[in-house]
Structure 1
C-alpha cells in the first residue's frame, strides 16, 4: 500500500456527526469519508490504521486525546491485572498449530512495534508477525463489510474460520478477553467515534467472543457458522445465550453445562482513558494529517452477531 499517496478527506474530522445510511457498510462509509475514494487499497489502509492502534496503542497524530495503551501493554480490568504480551512474544505455548497442545510462537518477529508505527504489518512478508497482522486486517475487514475486499489491494480473509480453534490453547479468562475488547473500543474512540457506536461494537464483540460455549456463528460470511467463543476459562467466562458446551466438550476447559448467563457490564469498552500506565507508541503522523474517525465495528456489528457484514 502506498501510504505516502493517501490523502484524508478534509471532512474527516466531522464525519462522526454524519448519519451513515442504513444500506452502507461501516467500512465503505468511513473509507469514503476519510480517504475520499472507496477503493480496495483505501479500505486496507483504514483497517491498518485501526488494527495497528489496537495492537500498539496511540501512534497517530492528531487524535482526540483518548489514551489507548494497546493490547501489548499491561493493564487492569475490574482490579485484576492483565498482561497479554506473553501470548504474542512466544513465552507461552498457546498457539494452535494443529496438534493436541499449544506451541510457542513469537508473533513479534517482524520488527515488533516499529513497522506498525509506519502503517505496516511487519518489516518483512514472511514473519509470524506479518501473517498475524495481515490476517487481523482481513478479518476485521470482513466483519465491517468491506465491499472491495477480495479485489486487488485488499485480500479476502481465508485463514482459520473458527476463532475458538485459533485461541483454544490460550484458556483466556474474562479479564484478558475484556481487555482486548476495551482496546478495540478505545482505539475507535481515540479517533472520534461516537460513544454510542463504541458501546454498540462492545456489545457485539462481547456477545460473540467474550462468552463460553456459544453455538456456531458467522464472523466471516464466506466461511459460514463456526465455533467462535474465545473466553474459555470456566471460573470467569459467562456462558453464552443458548450455550451448547457439548460442542466444546473436552476442549480448552469448557464444561458441559448449558446454563445461560449474560456477560457482565464490565466487559464493555470505555471511551475515556486507558488501563494501566500505557506503553503506547510515540505519536507519528496519520497520512494526510487530518483527524481520523475510525468506524470500527459500530452499526455493522449490531444487526446480528451471527452475520457481521452488511
Structure 2
C-alpha cells in the first residue's frame, strides 16, 4: 500500500490465537508510535457483539484511533473481499495522517489476503443473494450442492455438502455472473502489503495451556460484563443461521440457554470448548500458512516492539 507520494507507510501486522494478548499489544504500540489500530478479526467487525467477540473496550477505542471494529451490521454477510476493500481505505487514511498502521487480529485468511492478495471477486446483486439464501432454507444444502456440481464442478468437488455458506457463495457467483467461482479464483492477485522492510510481521505464540486458562477466564468475565444482553439483542434480530456472524463463539450455546434448552453452566462450557478448538485451528493455520512470520512469546512482545524507533 503506498501513500500519495508513492512511499510505503510503516505497518505492523500482529497475528495470534485468541486470548493471546494481541489487542493490548496493539494498543500499547499505537499509543507509543501515534498509530492507528486496524482490525483483522472476522468476528470483531460486527456490531451488537462487542463483549462476546472480545472487541476493544470503548475506553481503548477512544485512547487511539481504531478502525474496522463493529462497523458491519450483524444481519449482513461480510467476506474477506469486503474486508480487503475496507482495509485499503483504512490504510490510506492512516498513511494520509502520517500514522503507522497496526493491523491486529486472529483471522489468518485476512492476513493471507492482505499480504498475498485475493483474485478479484464480483459484486452479487441483492436479488440473487436473497434468492439463493431463500432456496437454501427451502431446499437444503444438498439440493444447492447438486446444482453447483452442474454450474461449477470444480468448486463442488472442493466444497463439502455440509458447508452451506461456501455452497451459497459459489452458487451466487455462478448464477450472478454466468462464470464459475473457480474461474474467478484463477485471476491474478495483487497484495496490498507485500513483504517489505517497512512491514513488520509478527505472530504471537503463547503457551497452549496459558491460552486455555485465559479462554476459560474470559468466558466468565464476558458473562459478568453482560454478554447475555448482547445475545438477547441478536436473538431479537431473527438472524439467518447461514450468516457469518452467527458463528461467533458462544452465540449459539447462549441462545440455547436463553431459550431454556441449556443450563448456563453448560452453555458457558460449550463456549469454552468451541473457543479452545478455534485456538487450536489458529495455531495450525499460523504454523503452515505463515511460516516466515516472526514468532514471538507474548511475554517478550512488549520488549521486542519497544526497540522499534518512534
TM-score, normalised with respect to structure 1:
0.26
Is the radius of gyration larger for structure 1 or structure 2?
Answer: 2
